[in-house]
A = this chain, B = another copy of it.
């Protein structure tokens, strides 16, 4: 016990290593599985090559970006005094940035590699049994989940130890500790930057391919989805991997790292006497998330079914719930063991058990958000049915119904989020908000495993279709795919909830480092910042949607050209040039992701340096609120449209009549689905990263603008009114004692 206490910090990267080791074992197991016949392997090879081609193209651009950004970071040349020596902290941040970027890219690579191996092996397994197909596809997802979580914990924990040594930190509340954590934000910035491009680029890729393949293949040529004759079909299947696997993985990698980091920043401000050298509030989020990897591994054991008739969804739920509940129970003991009786953050006092309650709040918020998202997008439920009914009067009413469902679906999630913020704050102040997010993210490995399983099953179905395997194979993969659609929806709910809480934690951390004590929207410039911030998700969404539209048009023209110029495609006599379509999607996504990315990265820098930290705080609040709303609205509207369309496959009843595919209402539902595609897979989920990234950028520049703001005041030469805030304590007898100086603010008087 003593040993563990003193060396608890070493346990963190160790837990990450355990995750990576288990991942390696699972990955090897997947690779060992039968990859099917030559035809299947050839098709799977196209998909894997296409996915890697995208990654290579993306990496080429991103390494230029990373080098540029790192140079800028290093060039800013801040010097911090550490242990009496001047240290170029900006250089260290820039190195951490590069490491974060590389780790995030590696996590994406591992996930994509695993997914492109697992897809064809799932198809082959589906030739024998559903049980085996689930095992292969879910294990493929687990590789992704463990890879992301393991790398994150290893990287963050490892770098933290390095910085502790480098800065020679000997006390938890020292300036050196503060600096060690501040430079760690570089890691998070690197990870989240890559995540933005992966999510936006992947989102554009997958929907350009999907819309393009459907518009010419299904609508014009009349061949089924995933038909081997469609030149865009490989790009479409690649898209599932680059968008849903790599994009989602990078997103959650970023959330995971940012959440832990924000909690550490806030934890560092708490002065405690404990058995960990006063470091317990800093260590707690890392330990919880590290252990969460183990609990996720335990959860995966429950994801198994008996036979063909077993319910796959239930198996996944059981695994998910197990990890969440174990995490909850473990948190109780961790909190009791690590934290002292009472803690105090920025004047807010709370007991250690309240920290546990805050973690429970986080777990509950995540769960409810997932359930609500499922309700609004699931087949057979009210919202999707309302869209189906309104498809009977045409395209326009289908669209109106979907938009209305999406807008309405924001109500409960926002109330849950607001309640979660208030409850976790009530329990443990801002540390409570941050640790709630960390608790929620602890089972990220499990969440991602479930998430990545979906596109693997989807791909497996595609390969089955393209290889013209017997119908029972496709039936089994369809079964998995249907479950995958649901988990995709719940995963999005989880991702947005985690992004919202993470942003709030980052927001609180930002306020601390920027040296401001309030973000007062009653001040006109702050309110102006709030307005501008609220607008950014709108323009970001517009750019994403537009990009998909443009790229899909390019794809349509290429597919039309191939049908026209390559004779014999339709008769299976000639092979389409799959790689040309892959290249179009790749180039378009890389090209179009730059502008939205630039907005997210540059806006906070400009606002922060020109208008100061408080206006930047207003901007962040605006981005977060508007981004969460637009994220939920777009993701849920898209999901509901998708399932409204899918409902026609089995037939739906409208006003007592049955309608099937190719009916007029079905055509209207296809319109909704096409509109929903970029909503749910490009712009909607990008909102998560947008809000997180802007918060992290602000956190990174916080020390710089904190300085420049006070400089500005000093340089104006105008009369300055100083406002001193002191604290007075009134005891129960009414005696007043003046405590401490809280802060001084300057009011400049204009002449």
Cβ of A530 < 8 Å from any Cβ of B?
yes
Cβ of A399 < 8 Å from any Cβ of B?
yes
The secondary structure that dominates the A interface is helix
A68, chain B: closest CB distance, angstroms:
26
User: In the bound complex, do residue A722 and residue B750 qualify as a contact, i.e. CB atoms below 8 Å apart?
Assistant: no
Cβ of A678 < 8 Å from any Cβ of B?
yes
User: In the bound complex, do residue B404 and residue A545 qualify as a contact, i.e. CB atoms below 8 Å apart?
Assistant: yes
Cβ of A433 < 8 Å from any Cβ of B?
yes
How far apart are the CA atoms of A528 and B425 in the complex, in Å? 10
Give the residues in chain B near A517, CB-CB below 8 Å. 522
Give the residues in chain B near A535, CB-CB below 8 Å. 410-411, 414-415, 629
Which residues of chain A (622-648) have a CB below 8 Å from chain B? 622, 625-626, 628-629, 633
User: In the bound complex, do residue A527 and residue B504 qualify as a contact, i.e. CB atoms below 8 Å apart?
Assistant: yes
Cβ of A403 < 8 Å from any Cβ of B?
yes
Q: Mark A380-416, 1 if CB is under 8 A from B, else 0.
A: 0000000000100111110111011101101100110
Give the residues in chain B near A742, CB-CB below 8 Å. 723
How far apart are the CA atoms of A524 and B426 in the complex, in Å? 9
How far apart are the CA atoms of A731 and B718 in the complex, in Å? 9
Cβ of A651 < 8 Å from any Cβ of B?
no
Q: Mark A685-729, 1 if CB is under 8 A from B, else 0.
A: 000000000000000000000000000000000011111111111
User: In the bound complex, do residue B671 and residue A394 qualify as a contact, i.e. CB atoms below 8 Å apart?
Assistant: yes
A397's closest neighbor in chain B, by CB?
B549
Partner of A519, one of B421, B522, B617: B522
Give the residues in chain B near A521, CB-CB below 8 Å. 519-521, 617-618, 621
Cβ of A302 < 8 Å from any Cβ of B?
no
| Chain A interface size, under 10 / 10 to 19 / 20 to 34 / 35 or more | 35 or more
A242, chain B: closest CB distance, angstroms:
21
Q: Mark A529-564, 1 if CB is under 8 A from B, else 0.
A: 111101100110111011011000100100000000
A684, chain B: closest CB distance, angstroms:
12
How far apart are the CA atoms of A312 and B549 in the complex, in Å? 38
Give the residues in chain B near A726, CB-CB below 8 Å. 723-724
How far apart are the CA atoms of A177 and B378 in the complex, in Å? 58
Partner of A749, one of B349, B622, B720, B747: B349
Partner of A522, one of B404, B508, B541, B625: B508
How far apart are the CA atoms of A419 and B556 in the complex, in Å? 42
With A395-B395, A403-B545, A421-B528 already in contact, the answer to whether A728 and B724 are too (CB < 8 A) is yes
Partner of A719, one of B419, B525, B626, B732: B732
Cβ of A64 < 8 Å from any Cβ of B?
no
Cβ of A204 < 8 Å from any Cβ of B?
no
Give the residues in chain B near A732, CB-CB below 8 Å. 719
A531's closest neighbor in chain B, by CB?
B418
User: In the bound complex, do residue B542 and residue A408 qualify as a contact, i.e. CB atoms below 8 Å apart?
Assistant: yes
Q: Mark A728-744, 1 if CB is under 8 A from B, else 0.
A: 11111000100100100
A548's closest neighbor in chain B, by CB?
B400
Cβ of A102 < 8 Å from any Cβ of B?
no
Give the residues in chain B near A43, CB-CB below 8 Å. none
User: In the bound complex, do residue A408 and residue B625 qualify as a contact, i.e. CB atoms below 8 Å apart?
Assistant: no
Cβ of A92 < 8 Å from any Cβ of B?
no
Give the residues in chain B near A418, CB-CB below 8 Å. 528-529, 531-532
User: In the bound complex, do residue A539 and residue B411 qualify as a contact, i.e. CB atoms below 8 Å apart?
Assistant: yes
Q: Which of A396, A629, A721, A732 is most buried by chain B, counting CB atoms within 10 A of its CB?
A: A396
Cβ of A272 < 8 Å from any Cβ of B?
no
Cβ of A154 < 8 Å from any Cβ of B?
no
A518, chain B: closest CB distance, angstroms:
4
Partner of A404, one of B349, B407, B542: B542
User: In the bound complex, do residue B723 and residue A719 qualify as a contact, i.e. CB atoms below 8 Å apart?
Assistant: no
Give the residues in chain B near A33, CB-CB below 8 Å. none
A659, chain B: closest CB distance, angstroms:
17
User: In the bound complex, do residue A538 and residue B633 qualify as a contact, i.e. CB atoms below 8 Å apart?
Assistant: yes
A732's closest neighbor in chain B, by CB?
B719
Partner of A539, one of B407, B539, B546: B407
User: In the bound complex, do residue A629 and residue B628 qualify as a contact, i.e. CB atoms below 8 Å apart?
Assistant: no
User: In the bound complex, do residue B545 and residue A400 qualify as a contact, i.e. CB atoms below 8 Å apart?
Assistant: yes
Cβ of A430 < 8 Å from any Cβ of B?
yes
A350's closest neighbor in chain B, by CB?
B750
Partner of A625, one of B410, B411, B626: B626
Give the residues in chain B near A545, CB-CB below 8 Å. 400, 403-404, 407
Cβ of A305 < 8 Å from any Cβ of B?
no
User: In the bound complex, do residue B401 and residue A525 qualify as a contact, i.e. CB atoms below 8 Å apart?
Assistant: no
A479, chain B: closest CB distance, angstroms:
29
A517, chain B: closest CB distance, angstroms:
8
How far apart are the CA atoms of A670 and B670 in the complex, in Å? 17
Give the residues in chain B near A541, CB-CB below 8 Å. 407
Cβ of A569 < 8 Å from any Cβ of B?
no
A215's closest neighbor in chain B, by CB?
B393
User: In the bound complex, do residue A532 and residue B415 qualify as a contact, i.e. CB atoms below 8 Å apart?
Assistant: yes
How far apart are the CA atoms of A415 and B607 in the complex, in Å? 13
With A425-B524, A521-B617, A539-B407 already in contact, the answer to whether A531 and B417 are too (CB < 8 A) is yes
Selected A-B contacts with CB under 8 Å, 16 pairs? A215-B393, A349-B749, A397-B674, A400-B678, A411-B535, A411-B538, A414-B531, A417-B528, A425-B524, A430-B524, A519-B522, A521-B617, A530-B625, A534-B534, A534-B629, A719-B729
Taking A518-B522, A721-B727 as known contacts, 17 extra A-B pairs with beta carbons closer than 8 A to each other, sorted by chain A number, are: A349-B749, A394-B671, A401-B549, A403-B542, A404-B549, A414-B532, A414-B534, A430-B524, A508-B522, A511-B522, A519-B521, A521-B621, A531-B625, A721-B729, A721-B730, A722-B730, A723-B725
What 6 A-B pairs are tightest by C-beta distance, nearest first? A425-B524, A396-B674, A407-B542, A418-B528, A414-B535, A722-B728
